Structure 1
């Protein structure tokens, strides 16, 4: 009996140590659901699982976890738009827009977007699933997506995935496989990317078109991070932060009574004009600006930002956003304001310092999103695994060299008369500011010949504007309108003489 027990123990131990915590490379789970959107009830199918990334020798080198929603009983599937959704980071899972913006379920949060317990999810009455099918894609090392070992037990080289151009190349290949498997080649196609996803989808527009022969109807950038802008490290671009400073200061009620009594949208146009026509040229002059001009600009910047003239002069007009988050309420309440959403407040160890200890909005979001997505995937989508869901995955170092994504978007638009662009930004976003997004939009096409194909929408919230109930509705409606205006059904793809 003792020998039998020992044998069983050895077998169990051998099985235990031979196992690895990993996902199947190619698998899916299908579930059926019902929802009500815009007052109309309908059923939909959710498919979640993994799909391989194929290497040069047609072997799997990674597998991406995805979730795909299709409205049931659609008679004319070729006319049904397909939305391919990414978040950013780089290194972020698709969780944010998946269970808080466009998908059929959203977080349990209050009307302003703050989490409430018990954590969980509820139906999203504003989801765009009524007008389009959606797939949420998780790049390598995010969510459950992982690299795959070869026959010798070696992982692919990191540079295959973790860089601006590598990311675009393998994701375009993956999208081709997905569209082929799901038989969606005839459908109008859209790609949407939040934050770094903005850089990603600008590049994907051309890569899909030129390398995969897949032409898009629309590119949607949500709070886009344009790395072409951020990687220049030119002080002159810090001027673009001023309109955001105004918005955050207005929300926190620290502007002068003259400005505070006005509506935000009545103030921002004059600040934007002052930024482009005065602040940018002033900062460009550097140390050779005249003392009188420097004093005048600092005083006006103080008026528009809620910061002291002295602190602006001490920064030579080039005020870092991190200093703004620390400084704005320092003398009033001693609190910091959020980076991604400056409506949020936090508490530092010391009031002194030049930057906050942490981002209060990010910690708030993490402790609401993390339990919700883990619960939702297991209990609603019926996908079970012991692998950890990476809200943010290990993707660094990230290769930022040779960033031509802005030009890639321009070329894709020039070559494809159908292609239109929607940009959505929150006024209180201090990480990827709304005015920097406008600036990117202006710079994509310096000729101005395609400017009527760009649409910008701003919202009274932060980086994830959809967390606020009013903006959840309006932002989804703006996507619906964009899809309608870019459908191009029955219209020839050609340019006419001006």
Structure 2
């Protein structure tokens, strides 16, 4: 009898496990999704697309004709597992590395590259700039839908250095691991720490400790670069060079009530007015007009803004007139803006007579709004013009050329994910904690520790997201001694935030970076 009862109970238990979960009462009846979650939780969890704790690696071979030679390379797509100080795995960072074949690994330069956001994967640098393949953009126009123009990049930087492109945690294929939340990486210092660990992990895994080492950051990636450079120096990795592409290292200048951002944007406004032929007595080259704007911005304009409401009517009218001649807006508009022209207003107003707006990342791009009379643009045409091409091509390239197969979705951004609320506080190596970060302080500290470290800032004239004059300002505030100050250099291009989308600018970029590597690859010896 006991055996029969036990068998019956076992059968009933088995049936209950196999059957859908039934409600206790009609009022508590569960929906089908609820029943699915409750009864099949383990099955669902087993089918989740998770980043691997064990590091992945897929190796392929390729070649590209560039700079008068055939460059044969090995492409490695995979993941780097970073761990906390106790050795616990915390995140899996996706990377793609290109290494030139037949070179001594220990002496061959290696460069770590990343985009910014914060929240962006490193798809823009990977597919648009220095890798052996690239989206073939040129003029500032909207890219047509598929088939996209994509092919070998004869301006690749692979002739100078091996290249390692890394995605931030939460973007691309990079993910937190185990119980570690994404928010543990979503902040200035947390993010810099993750990249520091990833770079050190790659350096160890692939035996690159004796290689000349560089980092290239774009946009927010330049702010990251300042902190990462200091972190690496503090952990025994001496860098040869840091490249800042479209820089923003100091967010403090953007606080309301300060005039620094208006001053920083002014020469970019002037360059843009020159490009769109909105300047009276237009000089033949943009640099001549930009230099006039620089001098005005640092002199009469800065003085006028500092006076605030104490400025006289006569000086206010004079400043508005001079601004109009340099940036192409009417004196009346400038006066109504209290001499403080906002970026969104400039983008809407400059070509209002043509019923066109202009871009933010690249002010050469034109947009059309539903409301031509509105006060600000509806979108950034320089972003939407190329996004589809980049993400479509990369998804095909990584799966079918690099042969990296995964069920993990390639995220266009970490923004919008649960817990993504960027922590902007920063603790620099000198001074007190910051609520708005300025990692130029970190970079300056790294340069004082390593006086051979060279820094190259690459700037687009038409970039309003990270204006070149603001970069000049940030670098000037690093308070480097004269013998180190010369380690910082600037170059300028006829392009925007991603100046490499222009063929002409990309050629100039390669020439400038070739010189930079030749100067620094031997440890910066003079």
Question: What is the TM-score of this pair, normalised by structure 2?
Answer: 0.86
Match of 1:103 among 128, 131, 142: 131
Match of 1:297 among 315, 319, 322: 319
Match of 1:41 among 55, 58, 70: 70
Cα distance, 1:389 vs structure 2? 1.1
Match of 2:105 among 68, 77, 81: 77
* CA shift in 2, pair 1:420/1:60, >3 Å: same
Q: Provide the residue aligned with 2:339 in structure 1.
A: 317
Cα distance, 1:102 vs structure 2? 0.8
- Counterparts of 1:274-423 in structure 2, within 5 Å, are 274-330=296-352, 332-394=353-415, 396-401=420-425, 402=434, 403-423=437-457
Match of 2:286 among 242, 246, 264: 264
Match of 1:179 among 169, 185, 203: 203
Cα distance, 1:57 vs structure 2? 2.5
Match of 2:180 among 155, 167, 182: 155
Cα distance, 1:358 vs structure 2? 0.7
* CA shift in 2, pair 1:352/1:124, >3 Å: same
Residue 79 of structure 1 aligns to a residue whose secondary structure is coil
Q: CA–CA distance in 2 between the matches of 1:241 and 1:110?
A: 25
Q: CA–CA distance in 1 between the matches of 2:257 and 2:219?
A: 20
* Gap regions ≥5 residues in structure 1: 1-6, 493-498
Cα distance, 1:17 vs structure 2? 6.3
Residue 206 of structure 1 aligns to a residue whose secondary structure is helix
Structure of larger gyration radius? 2
* CA shift in 2, pair 1:411/1:39, >3 Å: same
Q: CA–CA distance in 2 between the matches of 1:329 and 1:206?
A: 43
Q: CA–CA distance in 1 between the matches of 2:335 and 2:79?
A: 54
Q: CA–CA distance in 2 between the matches of 1:169 and 1:389?
A: 23
Q: CA–CA distance in 1 between the matches of 2:369 and 2:397?
A: 34
Q: Provide the residue aligned with 2:275 in structure 1.
A: 251
How many residue pairs match? The answer is 473
* CA shift in 2, pair 1:120/1:390, >3 Å: farther
Residue 370 of structure 1 aligns to a residue whose secondary structure is helix
* CA shift in 2, pair 1:281/1:450, >3 Å: farther
CA contact (8 A) 1:51 1:64 kept: yes
Q: CA–CA distance in 2 between the matches of 1:175 and 1:234?
A: 39
Q: CA–CA distance in 1 between the matches of 2:337 and 2:49?
A: 51
CA contact (8 A) 2:452 2:524 kept: no
* CA shift in 2, pair 1:309/1:111, >3 Å: closer
Which range moves more in the overlay, 177-186 or 229-238?
Answer: 229-238
CA contact (8 A) 1:49 1:67 kept: yes
* CA shift in 2, pair 1:298/1:400, >3 Å: same
Q: CA–CA distance in 1 between the matches of 2:120 and 2:41?
A: 36
* CA shift in 2, pair 1:311/1:90, >3 Å: same
Cα distance, 1:155 vs structure 2? 3.4
1:453 equivalenced with 2:476 (yes/no): no
* Gap regions ≥5 residues in structure 2: 1-17, 19-35, 426-433
* CA shift in 2, pair 1:203/1:234, >3 Å: farther
CA contact (8 A) 1:198 1:223 kept: yes
- Counterparts of 1:2-13 in structure 2, within 5 Å, are none
CA contact (8 A) 1:35 1:43 kept: yes
Q: Provide the residue aligned with 1:439 in structure 2.
A: 473
